[in-house]
Amino acid sequence: MARERRKWIILLSILPLTIYTIIVIIPLLSSFFYSFTNWNGFNPEYKFVGFSNYLKVFQDRYFELAIKNTLIWMVAAFVLPVVTGLAIALVLHERIRFANFYKSLFFLPICLSLAVIGQVWIWIYQPDWGLINTVLRSVGLEQLAIAWLANKNTALYSVIVAWSWQQVGLAMVIFLAGLTSIPEELTEAAQIDGASYWQSLRYVIIPLLSPATTVVIALSIINSLKSFDVVYMMTGGGPFHSSDTLAMFMFNESFKKYFMGYGSAIAVVLFLIAMVIIAFYFRQVRQLEQLYD
Amino acid sequence: MTKSNQIFPSAKDEGIKERISERTVNILIYLTLTILVFIYILPGLGVIMTSVKLDSEIAREGLWTFPKQIHWDNYREIWTEAHVDVYMRNSFLVTIPAVALSITLGVLLGYVFSKLPFRGSEALFVFVLAGLFFPPQIVLIPLFRFYNAIGVYDTLWPMIITHVAFGVSICTLIMRNFFASIPMAIREAAIVDGANEWQVLTRVILPVSLPALAVLATLQFTWIWNDFLYPIIFTQSDDMRTIMVGLITMKGQYSVAYGAQGAMAIVASIPTLMIFVFFQRYFIRGLTLGAVKG
């Protein structure tokens, strides 16, 4: 019986585990390997260069900028999609008219590719006839009508707004799922006890929503570290690296400039940052859960 | 009541004042909702309007005006000149096998983790989930080299293989959690009746797992269809482009052909929009279940 069971465990898991290991795990480990070389992507020969790629990473001011931008992205990803998503979910949860229409509308962008979304938002930001500048000019705010994506002070934020436009719906549906799981008796009881809406929100709803909040925040952190598609589509990291995120920077160094060794070093640093943040976050979550239990 | 007043000390508002403030809040809420509705409808409307305008009209009046007359020229043009037929075919040829295979692998592994636990299976499960958390850009360089070495660079295979392998994590997670909700006694009864694990899985467990399979199918389809990272790295010739890459290259090549870009964006979005319309329920469940996927 035990032998039969072992046979089936191996038979059923061998294929998925093999493919996963070959395509995901081994390349992950070989990124570490390439990060100690000067491989250029074409030449079959390469030299070991020790830690020099890593030394270069930490002296590269564009790397520093990419880290800063990724952090800005993380904060913005919390403020825009998470807070807006929560607000919309709270409003739609109160049996509002046409709630399903709003829900579908805000959720729809999730099924669109960031290639499509990026393109539309390029048209919105376009300096001459773009939507934003047309509106600004028509209300007499001529001086505010700038080239949003080509200005190094606004490029990053403009991209983040386009990305958030897509992400709001995701946060919204997760919060809505969380809200429907809160028993109505609890919020009603708070009302009977004379709690104002803000008080029941603060003391009843928000604490009971914490599982959903955990998911949404974890998601926005992970997605911030992965932020690439929309940047690639809209600015490619420019102008002058001003909208570079870590993933975008790594991509440009590896596949535009063909510094594969250097790109691998950036990838390893990105991986380590992701692991530290995720480990730290899940530790916090576990402590919180223990506190509530 | 005294006790509750201690919990919510400032809650003794007068009736009238409360009613007025409630009305203001309601007005504010509907106002904000209306503004949001505009922000969410306008971009889509812009693309649709642009796609039915002639380039000359766009050049004169820009994108954000209503078309004077509806022209289908852009749609004809992308079909005959921009190889949208080839791109769409490639997208389907990548997406459908990748969705089917990744779900199959997830079913197998999910069954082992939920119904055949063994020493160390928890650790192995965490190992499999790791794929959800790191940015895929990290493995691009080694994979690029690997696919070159085995001679499949610039074919559709690298996209299929990579999506399947990265899909193992999310598919295993969702299938394991779903299988865990099916009582162990069902498997044991079938085993006592002389069934082997394969028969239990295919004849007993899978027939009741359709909701989970539907959730995964919608999620994986959307994610793989919309991806353009793997194709821009692993392919280079026009014949191997997927529709999303076609859209991106079009932006570069004919950067002023807005009408054609709009038409292409719409054609490219139709399959996932269909999923959204017909399977929204499963899609939302998938996103809330496997939310870390993004």
Same domain, B16 and B139: no
Closest residue in A to B121 (Cα–Cα): A9
Residue A102 belongs to some domain of the structure: yes
Which residues 6+ apart lie within 8 Å of A45 measured at CB? none
CATH number at residue B256: 1.10.3720.10
Q: Which of A17, A116, A270 sits opposite B135 (nearest CB)?
A: A270
**Last residue of one domain, picked from the residues B22, B53, B74:** B74
CATH number at residue A282: 1.10.3720.10
Same domain, B219 and B105: yes
Residue A10 belongs to some domain of the structure: no
Give the residue among B238, B247, B251, B236 at the shortest CA–CA distance from B270: B247
Q: How far apart are CA B248 and CA A228, in angstroms?
A: 14
- How much is the mean pLDDT over chain B? 85
Enter the tokens of residue A96: 């509002």
Quote the pLDDT of residue B289. 64
Which residue has better confidence, A63 or B55? A63
Residue A26 belongs to some domain of the structure: no
Which residue has better confidence, B288 or A63? A63
Same domain, B26 and B63: yes
Same domain, B53 and B90: no
| Contact criterion met (CB below 8 Å) for A172 and A107 | yes
Same domain, B128 and B223: yes
Enter the tokens of residue A77: 């990803």
Q: Is the pLDDT of residue B22 over 60?
A: yes
The ipTM value here is: 0.85
What does the pLDDT look like over A115-125, one tens digit per residue? Answer: 999 999 999 99
Cβ within 8 Å, pair A16-B196: no
**Last residue of one domain, picked from the residues B16, B46, B74:** B74
Domain that holds residue A189: 53-292
Residue A41 belongs to some domain of the structure: no
Q: Is the pLDDT of residue A149 over 80?
A: yes
Same domain, B179 and B213: yes
- How much is the mean pLDDT over chain A? 86
Total domains in chain B come to 2
What does the pLDDT look like over A61-115, one tens digit per residue? Answer: 899 999 999 999 999 988 888 889 999 998 888 877 888 888 889 989 988 999 9
Same domain, B224 and B280: yes
Which whole-number Å values give the CA distances from B155 to A163, B29, B150, B152, B248, in the listed order? 30, 52, 12, 6, 19
Same domain, B230 and B88: yes
CA B273 to chain A, closest CA, distance in angstroms equals 7
Say which residue the tokens 């038979």 belong to: A11
Same domain, B164 and B277: yes
Quote the pLDDT of residue B19. 65
Total domains in chain A come to 1
A13 CB neighbours in chain B (<8 A) are 108-109, 112
Residue A101 belongs to some domain of the structure: yes
Query: CA neighbours within 13 Å on the CB side: how many for A3?
Result: 0
Domain that holds residue B25: 2-74
Cβ within 8 Å, pair B268-A115: yes
Residue A48 belongs to some domain of the structure: no
Which residue has better confidence, B254 or B188? B188
Same domain, B152 and B249: yes
Same domain, B149 and B262: yes
Q: How far apart are CA A105 and CA A116, in angstroms?
A: 17
Same domain, B7 and B53: yes
pTM of the model: 0.87
Residue A31 belongs to some domain of the structure: no
Which residue has better confidence, B85 or A39? B85
Question: Which residues does residue A37 pair with via DSSP β-bridges, in sequence order?
Answer: A48
**Last residue of one domain, picked from the residues B58, B74, B90:** B74
Q: Is the pLDDT of residue B4 over 50?
A: no
Please report the sign of the dihedral spanned by the C-alpha atoms of residue B170, residue B173, residue B174, residue B175: positive
Residue A73 belongs to some domain of the structure: yes
Name the pLDDT band for B265 (thresholds 50, 70, 90).
Answer: very high
Cβ within 8 Å, pair B138-A267: yes
What does the pLDDT look like over A219-239, one tens digit per residue? Answer: 788 888 878 889 998 998 878
Give the residue among A225, A224, A218, A251 at the shortest CA–CA distance from A236: A251
For the ranges A139-143, A156-160, A287-291, the lowest mean pLDDT is seen at: A287-291
Cβ within 8 Å, pair B166-A193: no
